[in-house]
A = this chain, B = another copy of it.
Amino acid sequence: MASRADRSDTNNLGFLLAKASQHWNQLLAERFAARGFAEVRPSYGSVLLPLFEQDGLRMGEIGQRARLSKQTMTTLVRLCERDGLVARERDPDDSRAFRVHLTERAREFRPVADEVLRELDTRVLAALGQRQRQALARALKGVMGL
């Protein structure tokens, strides 16, 4: 019914990547909100998941694990703080650094995060099949290597 400008549209890889990424975040936000954690933005995962593995990390360490820049970490940690999910305290051994700690609220969120992530993974599996899902991950890494 329409197919003139495919380069600018649905077959443009940049377009597909952007939209898929956007949509994924949308899915996360909806599910978190539906379970009573509307304040948890998708990006907070970059802070919370590392801290679920090991609480009390420094900001730079979180950034490394999530592969985000220091500036982004500054911003994200402040937002998480504002929303009552983490607390910072100066590192006693290094007065430049901060230790970031999960709050009770964040610990309550942990099972929700696990559940949502599992649910989405299941849905991806249902939509794509195991083979395609694996191929997708590989292909995305390939794109990052360009």
Contacts and interface: CB of A to CB of B under 8 A. Distances in A.
Interface in A90-146: 117, 120-121, 123-124, 127-128, 132-133, 135-146
Given A9-B65, A42-B14, A127-B145, A20 B50 contact: no
Contacts of A139: 128, 132-133, 135-136, 139
A4 B50 CA distance: 10
Contact of A143 (B14, B24, B53, B143): B24
A67 B20 CA distance: 13
A142 B127 contact: yes
Copies of this chain in its oligomeric complex:
2
A141 B16 contact: yes
A8 B65 contact: yes
Contact of A8 (B17, B50, B133, B136): B50
Contacts of A45: 8, 14
A126 B97 CA distance: 44
Contacts of A141: 10, 16
A28 B14 contact: yes
Interface string A44-79: 011001101100000000000111000000000000
B120 A146 contact: yes
A125 to B, nearest CB: 11
A23 interface: yes
Given A9-B65, A12-B117, 20 more contacts: A5-B50, A5-B65, A8-B49, A8-B52, A8-B65, A13-B24, A13-B136, A13-B137, A14-B25, A17-B17, A17-B20, A17-B21, A20-B140, A21-B21, A24-B143, A127-B142, A136-B136, A136-B139, A136-B140, A136-B143
